[in-house]
C-alpha cells in the first residue's frame, strides 16, 4: 500500500472510536449495525469533512510524585530543521530536577572540598528526530528558583542562570549512544557542595534549595529525548583505594518547544506537528448536502477516516536523517449546544466545564504500520456497531431542531513508546515529541478525511 491509514470509527453504546486499516468503502457497513429496514439496498456514502488546523500547546511537564503517574516520559533537547515543508525549525529546551537523599556515603558526606569529587548528569536516550551523524554540543544551567513542571505546557519557560554554565563547555552528546554523560564544572560543585551534602528532612531540605537544571543544545541538528526518571545526577569520590558514588534520581522534567518559520506544507496536504501543537480539526455540516438528506434515512454504520500518507513523508528526507512515525493519535470532540455531558454520552471528560470529550480508540482494529491505538468496549456492547451512535444521535437531534452531538473533532499526534495493547491508554497524553505527519486534503488516490456512512434508503 502507498500509505497507512488512521481510520477512526465513531459510535457504539460507549461511542467508541476505532482506528483500523480500512477496506473498500463500497463494502463498509453491510451486515453491520441494526438490521436494514425494508425498502432498499444499503448504500455507502463518503462525506468529506471541512478541515482546518488549530494550535494547542501540548503538556510536556511531568512530576513522578504527582498524579496521574505516567510510567514513561521524555525530556527533549536540541534543534531539528526537518526537510519536510511546513515543519520549520523546532528547538527543544529540557528541564530536569532531582530528588534529595536521606543518606550519603561517608566519603561524600565528609568531603570538605570540591577537588575530591566529580559530578555528572547521566542520561539515557530514548528518542531521536534529526541528524544521527553529528554530536550535540550540550550546555547545562542552574534554574534560579523551583519550577512547577508537572502538567506544564510546551509554551511555558522557567528562568535559568544562563550567564554561568554548570556544565563543562560544549559537552558532546552522541544522539545514538545508549548512555550519555555531561560533566559539571568543579567550580559548580564547590558552589553547591553544602546543598549536595544536605540529607536533613529525608532529603527535603536539598530539594528546597536545589531547583534543578536547564539543558540546551542550541546549535545542534537533532532533537534527542531522554527518560527523566532514569536520569541521575551522580557525585563520585575517588581516593587512592576506592571509588564511591551517590546518585540523585530525576523527579521532575519539562520541555519547552518553539517552532520558527514553519511555512506551508506540501501541495494537497495538511500537516500535523507534535510539540508545536498543530492539530487537524474536522467538521461536518448536517444542514448541507448530503447529510441534510439523510436525517430520516435508517443508518447502518458510520466511520470517520483520516488518512496519513507515510510514503509522502519518505519523499522528504536526507542522508542520516531520522524521523520516526508516531505510535499514536488522540481525538478530542467538542460538544454541541445543549447536548448530554461527556460522561452521560459515554465519554471521558477532556476539559472542564465539560465542553470537550476525549474519544477512546480501538487498538484491536489498528494498522500496525500506521502505529495507531484504541479503547475498551464493555462485553455487553461488543455486538454493537461502535461507529453508529454518534451519527445516529446527531441525526435524531437535527430532526428535533437541535445541534449535532459534536460540532468539531480535533486530531492530535500522541506519540507512545509502543502501540498500546490496552485500549484505555489511548485517552492518555502522548509522550513529548516533535514528530510531523502528512494528511492528504486533495487527491484521488488518497481521499481527504471523511465520514463514511452506510444507510438504507426507504
- Residue 16 in domain: no
- Residue 4 in domain: no
Parallel, antiparallel, or unpaired for β 361-362 and 16-19?
parallel
Residues 6+ apart with CB under 8 A from 267: none
Residues 6+ apart with CB under 8 A from 207: 97, 99, 100, 251
Paired with 281 in beta bridges are 52, 410
Confidence bin at 13 (pLDDT 50/70/90): very low
CB 315 within 8 A of CB 412: no
Q: Say how far residue 164 (Cα) sits from the centre of its chain.
A: 33
What's the whole-number mean pLDDT along residues 123-131? 95
Half-sphere CA count of 392, side-chain side, radius 13 A: 21
- Count of domains for the chain: 2
The H or E element that residue 127 is part of is strand 125-131
State the residue range of the domain holding 387.
43-53+274-455
What's the whole-number mean pLDDT along residues 256-267? 94
Higher confidence at residue 351 or residue 382? 351
pLDDT score, position 448: 85
Q: Report, in angstroms and rounded to the nearest whole number, the Rg of the chain calculated over CA atoms.
A: 26
Percent of the chain residues topping a pLDDT of 70: 84
3-state SS, residue 114 = helix
Confidence bin at 254 (pLDDT 50/70/90): very high
> Residue 257: how many CB atoms within 10 A of its CB?
25
Higher confidence at residue 375 or residue 391? 391
End residue of a domain, out of 203, 234, 260: 260
Lowest-confidence segment of 32-46, 161-175, 295-309 by average pLDDT: 32-46
Residue 118 has pLDDT above 80, yes or no: yes
CB 366 within 8 A of CB 20: yes
Residue indicated by cell numbers 518553539? 258
pLDDT score, position 387: 60
What is the distance between the alpha carbons of residues 420 and 71, in angstroms, rounded to a whole number? Answer: 13
Burial class from Cβ neighbours inside 10 Å (0-12, 13-18, 19+) for residue 396 reads middle
- Residue 33 in domain: no
Does one domain contain both 251 and 299? no
Does one domain contain both 377 and 451? yes
Residue indicated by cell numbers 481521499? 447
Does one domain contain both 207 and 95? yes
What's the whole-number mean pLDDT along residues 269-296? 93
What's the whole-number mean pLDDT along residues 92-98? 98
Does one domain contain both 195 and 321? no
Does one domain contain both 408 and 315? yes
41 closest CA partner among 297, 291, 295, 296? 297
End residue of a domain, out of 260, 282, 302: 260
What's the whole-number mean pLDDT along residues 8-18? 38
- Residue 7 in domain: no
Does one domain contain both 356 and 409? yes
- Residue 175 in domain: yes
- Residue 201 in domain: yes
Does one domain contain both 285 and 347? yes
What is the distance between the alpha carbons of residues 139 and 158, in angstroms, rounded to a whole number? Answer: 16
Does one domain contain both 234 and 278? no
Does one domain contain both 227 and 147? yes
Residue 356 has pLDDT above 90, yes or no: yes
End residue of a domain, out of 205, 225, 260: 260
Burial class from Cβ neighbours inside 10 Å (0-12, 13-18, 19+) for residue 377 reads buried
Does one domain contain both 242 and 352? no
pLDDT score, position 11: 37
Does one domain contain both 71 and 198? yes
- Residue 374 in domain: yes
- Residue 28 in domain: no
What is the distance between the alpha carbons of residues 186 and 115, in angstroms, rounded to a whole number? Answer: 7
The pTM of this model reads: 0.87
3 closest CA partner among 189, 257, 269? 269
Supply the mean pLDDT for the chain.
83
Does one domain contain both 240 and 285? no
252 closest CA partner among 281, 211, 197, 300? 211
CB 453 within 8 A of CB 32: no
What's the whole-number mean pLDDT along residues 37-59? 85
Amino acid at each position: 500500500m502507498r500509505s497507512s491509514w488512521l481510520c477512526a470509527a465513531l459510535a457504539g453504546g460507549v461511542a467508541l472510536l476505532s482506528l483500523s486499516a480500512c477496506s473498500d468503502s463500497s463494502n463498509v457497513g453491510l451486515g453491520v449495525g441494526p438490521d436494514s429496514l425494508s425498502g432498499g439496498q444499503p448504500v455507502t456514502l463518503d462525506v468529506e469533512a471541512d478541515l482546518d488546523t488549530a494550535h494547542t500547546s501540548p503538556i510536556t511537564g511531568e512530576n513522578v510524585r504527582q498524579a496521574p503517574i505516567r510510567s514513561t516520559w521524555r525530556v527533549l533537547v536540541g534543534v531539528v530543521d526537518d526537510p519536510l515543508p511546513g515543519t520549520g525549525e523546532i528547538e527543544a529546551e529540557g528541564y530536569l530536577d532531582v530528588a534529595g537523599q536521606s543518606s550519603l556515603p561517608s566519603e561524600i558526606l565528609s568531603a570538605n572540598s570540591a577537588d575530591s569529587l566529580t559530578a555528572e548528569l547521566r542520561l539515557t536516550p530514548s528518542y531521536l528526530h534529526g541528524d544521527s551523524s553529528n554530536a550535540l554540543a550540550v550546555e547545562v544551567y542552574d534554574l534560579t528558583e523551583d519550577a512547577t513542571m508537572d502538567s506544564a505546557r510546551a509554551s511555558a519557560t522557567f528562568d535559568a542562570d544562563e550567564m554561568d554554565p554548570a556544565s563543562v563547555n560544549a559537552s558532546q552528546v552522541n544522539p545514538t549512544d545508549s548512555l550519555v554523560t555531561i560533566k559539571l564544572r568543579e567550580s559548580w560543585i564547590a558552589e553547591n557542595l553544602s546543598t549536595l551534602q544536605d540529607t536533613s528532612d529525608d532529603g527535603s531540605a536539598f530539594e528546597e534549595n536545589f531547583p534543578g537544571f536547564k539543558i540546551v543544545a542550541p546549535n545542534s541538528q537533532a532533537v534527542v529525548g531522554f527518560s527523566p526518571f532514569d536520569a541521575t545526577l551522580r557525585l563520585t569520590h575517588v581516593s587512592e583505594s576506592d571509588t564511591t558514588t551517590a546518585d540523585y534520581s530525576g523527579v521532575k522534567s519539562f520541555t519547552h518547544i518553539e517552532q520558527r518559520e514553519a511555512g506551508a506544507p506540501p501541495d494537497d496536504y495538511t500537516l500535523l506537528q507534535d510539540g508545536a501543537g498543530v492539530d487537524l480539526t474536522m467538521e461536518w455540516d448536517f444542514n448541507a448536502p448530503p447529510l441534510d438528506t439523510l436525517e430520516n434515512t435508517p443508518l447502518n454504520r458510520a466511520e470517520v477516516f483520516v488518512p496519513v500518507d507515510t510514503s509522502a513523508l519518505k519523499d522528504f528526507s536526507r542522508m542520516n536523517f531520522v524521523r520516526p512515525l508516531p505510535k499514536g493519535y488522540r481525538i478530542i470532540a467538542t460538544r454541541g449546544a445543549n447536548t448530554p455531558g461527556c460522561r452521560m454520552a459515554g465519554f471521558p471528560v477532556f476539559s472542564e466545564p465539560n465542553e470537550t470529550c476525549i474519544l477512546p480508540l480501538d487498538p484491536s482494529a489498528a494498522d500496525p504500520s500506521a502505529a495507531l491505538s484504541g479503547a475498551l468496549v464493555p462485553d455487553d456492547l461488543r455486538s454493537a456497531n461502535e461507529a453508529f451512535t454518534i451519527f445516529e444521535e446527531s441525526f435524531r437531534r437535527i430532526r428535533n431542531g437541535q445541534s449535532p452531538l459534536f460540532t468539531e473533532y480535533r486530531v492530535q499526534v500522541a506519540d507512545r513508546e509502543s502501540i498500546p495493547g490496552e485500549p484505555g491508554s489511548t485517552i492518555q497524553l502522548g509522550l513529548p515529541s516533535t514528530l510531523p505527519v502528512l494528511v492528504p486534503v486533495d487527491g484521488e488516490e488518497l481521499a481527504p478525511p471523511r465520514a463514511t456512512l452506510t444507510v438504507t434508503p426507504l
